[in-house]
Every structure is written in C-alpha cells, then in structure tokens.
Chains A and B, each alone.
Chain A
Amino acid sequence: DQQVKQNSPSLSVQEGRISILNCDYTNSMFDYFLWYKKYPAEGPTFLISISSIKDKNEDGRFTVFLNKSAKHLSLHIVPSQPGDSAVYFCAASGGGTGANNLFFGTGTRLTVIP
C-alpha cells in the first residue's frame, strides 16, 4: 500500500517559470517530509525538508509547503533552470509509525525547457 503518492509521473516547464511538484500521503503519523532529487545513474540527493510543525520551508529557489489537513505537500522551484531537470522524490518519516525507514513516492520527472 503506497503511503506516499506522486500522481504526476512527469512535468515540463519553461526555463524561468515556476515548477510545482505535488505529493500526497495517507499516514497521519508522518511528522517529517523530505524532497530528494535524482539524476540518472546517481543516488537520490537530499534537497529540502519540512517538519510537521511548520507549513513552509524555504531554501533559495526551493520552497516546500505542507498542508497537514489535506495530507498534501508541494515543492516549488522558482525560477526553474535547465539543471533542475531530474526525477524528484517525495519522502516521509514518522516516529509514531514505528518504522525506521523513509517512505518514498514513485517520483516526478521534471524537464525544464531552455
């Protein structure tokens, strides 16, 4: 049962515009959320995270928004650059779940068109 879902397998955005990647989760015990970026033939690279006590975290061009009532988070990249083209994975963790691992979505492939 997929507890973290990324329903858009791909997204194309023009360079300079905003990219919005979405993620939904089902387990209300998750208390920490992360975004990873993955280039081909490389492992996922940590990008940004947010604790469930916050609703927004910003780091440069990247902002993550968390809506706990909707069990939804999103990653905004602005302005988008061609180097941002990669697969983005949403992940969640939670001590309350009793699990030691991160739960990952299936990823969204972002293509930024020059």
Chain B
Amino acid sequence: GAGVSQSPSNKVTEKGKDVELRCDPISGHTALYWYRQSLGQGLEFLIYFQGNSAPDKSGLPSDRFSAERTGGSVSTLTIQRTQQEDSAVYLCASSLGRGGQSGIQYFGAGTRLSVL
C-alpha cells in the first residue's frame, strides 16, 4: 500500500505478557518514528530510526520497551511484561528525512493496546 501500515489494529493482552507491534513505513522513507497516545493526552515520542544510524531511544519510558528496524524498512516495537499503564494507541510514522518539509511525518492508523 501507499501509506504507513500497522498491525494489529487492536491488541488485548493480560498484564505481564509481552506484545509485539509492527509498522511498515512508506516505501523510500528513511526515517521511522514510534509514538503513543494515552487517553486524553497528546502524542508522546518513543523512538526514532534514521537509515543505518543508531536509533534515538530518548522517549522510551522504561527498559521494558524496545524497538528494531530490520533492513531499513519494517519496524517492531516490543513491550515486555506489560502493565496496565501501557494501555494506549501506539502510532508509527515515517518521513523522507529529518527536519523541515522533508521531516513531515505520515502516520499509520495505530495499534490500540489494552492491558487487562
């Protein structure tokens, strides 16, 4: 498809389980971002990938969160030992580059994670 694709669209899990969320960015976009949006909040930055550079992990809330980007394309966000406060919509975005007009980010529809 032409846009950013995320799967699954919804995920319900039990507290303490691990989850994996997938993002397929727009073809040709070198930058990939993960954000999360908790109820009533704005988008909170989690992690940024740019080409082959080391990712910017400055937004990850704890060491239970990790992400990979394989082959410069698909990315997986993993949350280990999920907690109820992890419940949120997890959004992935991609952009051509960083900053200014090339930094315009295009978002997927998100994965709604519910931790029971």
Q: Which residues of A contact B (CB under 8 A)?
A: 2, 4, 31-32, 34, 36, 41-46, 49, 51, 89, 91, 93-95, 99-107
Given the interface pairs A93-B99, A95-B99, the reply to whether A45 lies near B42 with Cβ below 8 Å is no
Known: A32-B103, A46-B106, A93-B99. A100 touches B50 (CB 8 A): yes
* Assembled-state Cα–Cα distance A96/B107 (Å): 24
CB of A106 within 8 A of CB of B41, answer yes
Any A CB within 8 A of the CB of B100 = yes
Check A32 against B107 for contact (C-beta < 8 Å).
no
Which residue of chain A has its CB nearest to the CB of B59?
A: A101
Q: Is the CB of A104 within 8 A of B43?
A: yes
Task: Give 29 CB contacts A-B under 8 Å.
Answer: A2-B42, A31-B99, A31-B100, A32-B99, A43-B4, A43-B91, A43-B107, A43-B110, A44-B43, A44-B91, A46-B106, A49-B104, A89-B42, A93-B100, A93-B103, A94-B99, A95-B98, A99-B58, A100-B31, A100-B48, A100-B98, A101-B59, A102-B43, A102-B103, A103-B45, A104-B43, A106-B40, A106-B41, A106-B42
Contacts of A99 in B (CB 8 A): 45, 58
In angstroms, Cα B101 to Cα A44, docked, is 17
| Nearest CB of A to B2, in Å | 13
Q: Mark B6-48, 1 if CB is under 8 A from A, else 0.
A: 1000000000000000000000000101010000111101001
Q: How far is the CB of A48 from chain B (nearest CB, A)?
A: 10
A43, B42: Cβ atoms under 8 Å?
no
Question: Once bound together, how far apart are the Cα atoms of A44 and B42, in whole Å?
Answer: 11
Q: Knowing A32-B100, A102-B45 are in contact, say whether A46-B105 is a contact too (CB < 8 A).
A: yes
- A sample of 8 more A-B contacts (CB under 8 A), given A100-B56, A101-B45, A102-B103, is A43-B110, A44-B107, A93-B103, A94-B99, A99-B58, A100-B31, A102-B43, A106-B41
